[in-house]
Structure 1
Amino acid sequence: MSMKAHPTLAIAALITLLPAEAALADSPRQPEEVLVTGGRDAISNLAGSAQIIDEAMLEQFDYSDLNQVMSALPGVYIREEDGYGLRPNIGIRGATSERSQKVTIMEDGVLITPAPYSAPAAYYIPNVSRMSAVEVVKGPSAIYHGPHTVGGAINFATRAIAPEAEREIDVTYGSDNFQKYQLYSSDTSIRDNGGELGYAIDALRFSGDGFKELDGGGDTGFERNDINLKFSWRPGAAQNQLFTLKLGFADEDADETYLGLTADDFNANPYRRYAASQLDHFTSEHSQVHLGHLFEVSEQVSINSAVYWNQFDRSWNKLDGFIDGVAIRDVLAFPDVFTRELGILRGEIDSNGSDSDMLDVTNNAREYGSMGIQSALTYRLSWGETQHEIQTGLRFHHDYVERNHSIRGYLMDSGKMVYDGQQRGSKLRNEADTDAIALYVVDTIDWRDFRFTLGLRHENIRGNNDDFLTGDDNDKSQSVTLPGAGVFWQLTDELGLLAGINRGFSPAAPSAGGDVDPEESTNLEYGLRYQRENLRLEAIGFFSDYDNLLGRCRVSDPGCTAGEEFNGDNVEIAGLELTGRWDTKLTQALTGVVSFSYTYTESAFQTDFSSSFSQWGDVEAGDELPYLPEQIGQVQFGVRGQQWEATTAVSYQSEMRDQAGSAPLSQVAHTDAYTTVDSSVSWFVDSHWTVQLSVDNLLDEEAVVSLRPFGARPNKPRSARLRVKYQF
């Protein structure tokens, strides 16, 4: 599928101007139109759940790993994979974390993952190092953002254009030759006609040699580049308008693998990599063009529009198993049974030339694209004792994915992999595309001490999938209307109560068979917020009743085809989210802060069934979902002086089962419970210079954080970073 096949959208993308990345607001760095929540103050009386990690919080540790950033938020689940967060696995309120496929992910309010409808697995997520805030919305708050609303949405807010000259050079060096370089420049000039012209340049590069040790030697690191340009123009007319243009390019080169370890090999050396992964290599390129227009028609009416185009190409050459032999997962799970196959993976035994001994290295080449037009009209009015903010939004979206997975056979010979010279063709070659129209209407009503939110979201989706190997041509149409409602009651000056209900939805992909239903759920939330000058507390319970849980096959799942989907029938998920923050003055010169987040979650399938989806298998009613921790939490302690700041974060995650079931975890395959401690100290030398020393995993905790894609995988060991930032 090519963008050229849709000339109408292509022309519109060139001539239409869309959502503004900066707004007509007093704060140029955090304009409301970038922050889908409206910012931290707006969250305090929101009739729904939302959290924000602002620029100050991001600066405390300067993480480049999104997993570490998100671990500070309640109701957000992380499954680590490579230790650097190159391809995050993030779930919200029980929705699967697998490649973040059940989360709507945006940049400045615009869909940003490669193909959120046709292939929602998020192999591209923006680099958090160039963001000024990260937001999460859940429950009725997510009705604005689709297509995936079963759990919630994540918005990455980029830095707004500065009102006056601002320059920044940011350099970091750390363990395993970790290097990060970031240059930033922004300014706004006043034109003779009273208009304003602004720009921002953000160039980022970071890399590392990796912390794993490849048998026989070799690279296990990565390298990323990311450059973004942003331009704004505010005409000198009486009407308040803002035009923005954002251009971005990012690439990655990583020696990353799906291959993990057996339990015994993990215990001996968790950072080992088998010789059979020596050819594994990932490359990608991402390009984006976003054009925005914000029009403040009056104090009551505003229109925020956007046109966007994204392109993502990736190639992942990696070990996928044996050509005609035992599945790798079985080899690693039962090493005493498959000793020969394990010896080949380790490079200790040579292949004999048969296909059962031949290593399958597949080049998983894919091309993704997405483009669309969206606009939101906001109308504010008073009616009697009520104040209304009515927002209606419309989006036309098209995305596609082209897959061509080609196989090559390799012999293991004295620890080196040797190409067998045979042309083996493609394992998977297909093309899927989707056209979607999304519409929402939300009325936020303020009456006395109450805030009500009433809304509807409608999605009309038409997809097509062509399988060039089988000749199958599949059309998939889905249409759904999703209501939602929430209420917040300011009971006292300090205490507020909230409750909400909404229908959740995650569409089936175009490749799904006719008997596969989309994922739909009824989501409830209820809780309270308590706030004083220096204390904030929040407790929210949630319950999700799934009419149908949707499972999606990945390349690493045996017994199914990548992209194939499965019905999981009725599932119930319930939990509790707790958050708090206390700021206090310790002495005249010192201030302290303590913050925490905690999530308890339980889940259960409600029916008995058998599935060829390996993460489910033979399911009985009452079985728990895989890769959903019962408990996660983080506590942060911080102290700040006049020219320094120190922060320590203690994070915990409980065990997760590898496959659906109800047996005690000690009797089945599962990940480890683990606790990590991160610490950071910053010195503000003067108004220009900042020096920061950070240590991740201070106690050097070792844990099995995942048994997928193939075998036991470790967390990142203790590592340190020294950062110097110069602002002028």
Structure 2
Amino acid sequence: MRKLLAFTGVLFIPLAGITQNEQKNDSINEAKKTEILKEIVLSSNILGSKFEVKNRTGSAYYLSPQDLQQFGYTDANKILRAVPGVNVFEEDGFGLRPNISLRGTSPERSSKITLMEDGVLIAPAPYSAPAAYYFPTMGRIEAIEVLKGSSQVQYGPFTTGGAINMVSKSIPRDFSGDVRFSYGNYNSRSTEATLGDSGKNFGFVTQYYNYNSDGFKSLDTGGNTGFDKSDYLGKFRLNTNHDTKVFQSLTFKIQYSEETSNETYLGLTQEDFDNDPYRRYIASSADQMNTEHWQFQLDHLIKPLQNVSLRTTAYHNKFSRNWYKLNDVNLGETISIGNILADPLTYNNEYQALLGITNTAEDVFGIKANNRSYDSKGIQTVANINFGNRLYQNLEIGVRYHEDSEDRFQWKDKFAIQNGEMIRTTVAQKGSDSNRITSAEAIAAHALYKVVFNGLTLTPGVRYETITLTRNDYGKEDPTRLGTDLTIKENNVNVWIPGIGANYKFNNALSLFGGVHKGFAPPGTTEGSDSEESINLELGSRFNFNGLRGELVGFYNDYDNLLGSDLAASGGTGSLDQFNAGQATVKGIELLLNYDLLQASSGKLKLPITLSYTFTDAQFQSDFDSEVGIFGEVNSGDEIPYIAKNQFNVTAALENSNFNVSLSGRYTDALRTEAGSGSIPDEFKIGSNFIVDMSAKYFYSERVTIFSNINNLFDSKYEVARLPAGLRPGAPFMVNAGIGYSF
């Protein structure tokens, strides 16, 4: 805590010596306008608009409320595929637990990117257990901000690929609300209700969102394979008069969500997938995940001077989950479900047991209760100061004190199949499979200086992280945690993360930007595990010629040490231990184009086209052998798995004031499921796919909208992963229709 007080003291030093200055020239006023966007009381955006994006010195992308509403996606995978530089691989077809990569980072459970909601870390335990088994429900999110390159030096702890900030429903300026309901095949339903208002000194918003489905997969014996997820949100703001000398606001946010999903890690063999990709074996019929998430946030903003703002946020996130799912089969020897499905001929008896055609003996199936609770809390302060006479200058200084933990208290029950049903035959002692607490204490600070002069913007910055990681393992024989078999591991990290970005605006139609910064990801508690470190470069251009708007970026990430993780989600044991994977390079190109084909016409119709393309070349530069996870035996020059080389997304919309019809097509190149080079063997391959979605909206009146969305318009059958165990399908043809009423 003394460290925290010392950092906080340093934070306030610059405020004393800086006074207000009058900005006079055009470049100063434009830059000032950009900064003002960050200070809007009603939102928690980092970017705030597409205007802010085009003026940054690093690559960034802003998905506005209109962008998110275009196709009504509730799946983060589908939403983010349109963003250049983003790689994802699907798992459940609904996006309940996305696997997201930014510029070639490992996509497993989105564990190598900084995830935030309203500017606050939102992964269950961002430092000690960053695998994102909790992910904000996309249906309740208002906007999404993606920061890459030197754009995200301010945000950590993961600075290699980038950061994603999800913006929850903002407090409206006036009394307003909306109600939306949709229904689709597989008995899929979504319901949303929002109400909010702002007065002179008070504002609020409340939101309810529910999304549920019976699921598109079919158990051999029948049954629900879907989910039911509900979210509740409340924000309440008190503020002084806007014309007061020292403006202040205090906003309290509370969010709660709960989920029950009948989801499994058990996929299919290649032969069974080819026959019916939506099949589920009987042995997965007892699998179910139950989660609960609380978020509390208190945000204080003060503007002691016109050119100075100070925002302080205290936060506390609590997440609990128990994923009760099939882990292994024992017919004399325990075999993991991943090994069975990868080689059903060698493990034919175990494979036949999964099918449940005949009764089995007792205790054949091990179903693990992956019972974990997470705690994440902290306080962060960011000071923003504008100053300068001849030059517009801005200084941002931030500090954060953070604690998080993951408490594992797991057990493995034993089951048999009798008459086509999973029957529990042995109830295990709770805590007998995994019984440990992993925790982290971290202090982070950053400073970012911005100067604008005659079209040139420079943003040098630096970040500092000091982290203590601890694991207390009580062993499998001490469920009451007396400490009779306690082992303790600890790892300490101190790191400086510098970066600099530049943007030169030739004119209103053309600008050039670039930057270099240090990439970092914290290690685990495993002895000998180093931090992940890299040097990252980018160079790009933004342009607008005759209505053709776009961005072209090249990037190069040079890893001195890449970290791998032992995740059950990636076919490992689930220990979450991290291991050194040595040197690697990731390079690529990102392209974004926007054009309205009817811009020259005098009619009211518009036909905007958006194209995004990403090329990613990710390779190991060291030899090593990994016995867990997705890497396998690696030789220098091997490609990093689960990163598609080529991706593109094209969207076209025909619209006017009465209707909107949109089509979206996304292509994903074939990718590897294990490291390798040359042609991809079939057993380690996910084939390419091209999926088309469609949406239509009719604006019946100013208040009423009728809409319909179709995902996978041509009902393509395609594979998305061989993780966690066996082949998994993408979602089939899905259609929904609904109505929205706003006031």
Matched, 1:448 2:454: yes
Q: TM-score, normalised by structure 2?
A: 0.91
Q: Secondary structure at the match of 1:144?
A: coil
The residue that corresponds to 1:331 in the other structure is 340
Matched, 1:673 2:688: yes
The residue that corresponds to 1:544 in the other structure is 557
The residue that corresponds to 1:368 in the other structure is 374
CA deviation string 1:104-127 (max 9, x = no partner)? 111111111110001000111111
Distance 1:157 1:491 in 2: 32
- Is this contact kept in 2: 1:24–1:31, CA < 8 A? no
Residue 589 (structure 1) shift: 2.5
Of 201, 207, 216, which aligns to 2:206?
201
Q: Secondary structure at the match of 2:335?
A: coil
Matched, 1:430 2:445: no
Q: Secondary structure at the match of 1:660?
A: coil
Q: Secondary structure at the match of 2:274?
A: helix
The residue that corresponds to 1:95 in the other structure is 105
Counterparts in 2 of 1:421 and 1:721: CA distance versus 1, 3 Å? same
The residue that corresponds to 1:516 in the other structure is 529
Matched, 1:682 2:697: yes
The residue that corresponds to 1:161 in the other structure is 171
CA deviation string 1:538-570 (max 9, x = no partner)? 100010001111111112556645211110010
The residue that corresponds to 1:135 in the other structure is 145
The residue that corresponds to 2:16 in the other structure is none
The residue that corresponds to 1:234 in the other structure is 239
Matched, 1:251 2:258: yes
Counterparts in 2 of 1:252 and 1:422: CA distance versus 1, 3 Å? closer
How many residues are treated as equivalent by the alignment?
A: 699
Two-structure CA RMSD over aligned residues (Å): 2.1
Distance 2:35 2:513 in 1: 28
Matched, 1:342 2:351: yes
Distance 2:522 2:569 in 1: 22
Question: How do 1:255-654 residues align onto structure 2 when only pairs under 5 Å count?
Answer: 255-323=262-330, 324-353=333-362, 358-382=364-388, 385-421=390-426, 423=428, 426-469=432-475, 471-509=486-524, 512-532=525-545, 534-556=547-569, 560=573, 562-583=575-596, 584-585=598-599, 586-654=601-669
The residue that corresponds to 1:81 in the other structure is 91
- Is this contact kept in 1: 2:145–2:165, CA < 8 A? yes
Counterparts in 2 of 1:241 and 1:534: CA distance versus 1, 3 Å? farther
- Is this contact kept in 2: 1:28–1:161, CA < 8 A? no
The residue that corresponds to 1:187 in the other structure is 197
- Is this contact kept in 2: 1:292–1:307, CA < 8 A? yes
Q: Secondary structure at the match of 1:639?
A: strand
Matched, 1:710 2:725: yes
Q: Structure 1 stretches of 5 or more lacking a match?
A: 1-5, 10-22, 191-195
Residue 608 (structure 1) shift: 1.2
Residue 421 (structure 1) shift: 2.7
| Stretch deviating more after TM superposition (286-295 or 234-243) | 234-243
CA deviation string 1:173-193 (max 9, x = no partner)? 111111111000001123xxx
Of 100, 113, 129, which aligns to 2:123?
113
Matched, 1:210 2:223: no
CA deviation string 1:248-303 (max 9, x = no partner)? 11000110101000011001000000000010000000011100011122221111
CA deviation string 1:75-134 (max 9, x = no partner)? 011110000000111110000110000111111111111100010001111112122210
CA deviation string 1:18-70 (max 9, x = no partner)? xxxxx999999976862212421011121001001101111111111111111
Counterparts in 2 of 1:557 and 1:230: CA distance versus 1, 3 Å? closer
CA deviation string 1:419-464 (max 9, x = no partner)? 2235366221110111100000000110112011100000000121
Matched, 1:37 2:28: no
Q: Structure 2 stretches of 5 or more lacking a match?
A: 5-32, 476-484
- Is this contact kept in 1: 2:37–2:47, CA < 8 A? no
Counterparts in 2 of 1:255 and 1:30: CA distance versus 1, 3 Å? farther
- Is this contact kept in 2: 1:28–1:160, CA < 8 A? no
Q: Which amino acid aligns with 2:588?
A: G
Counterparts in 2 of 1:159 and 1:178: CA distance versus 1, 3 Å? same
Q: Which amino acid aligns with 2:585?
A: E
Q: Which amino acid aligns with 2:210?
A: R
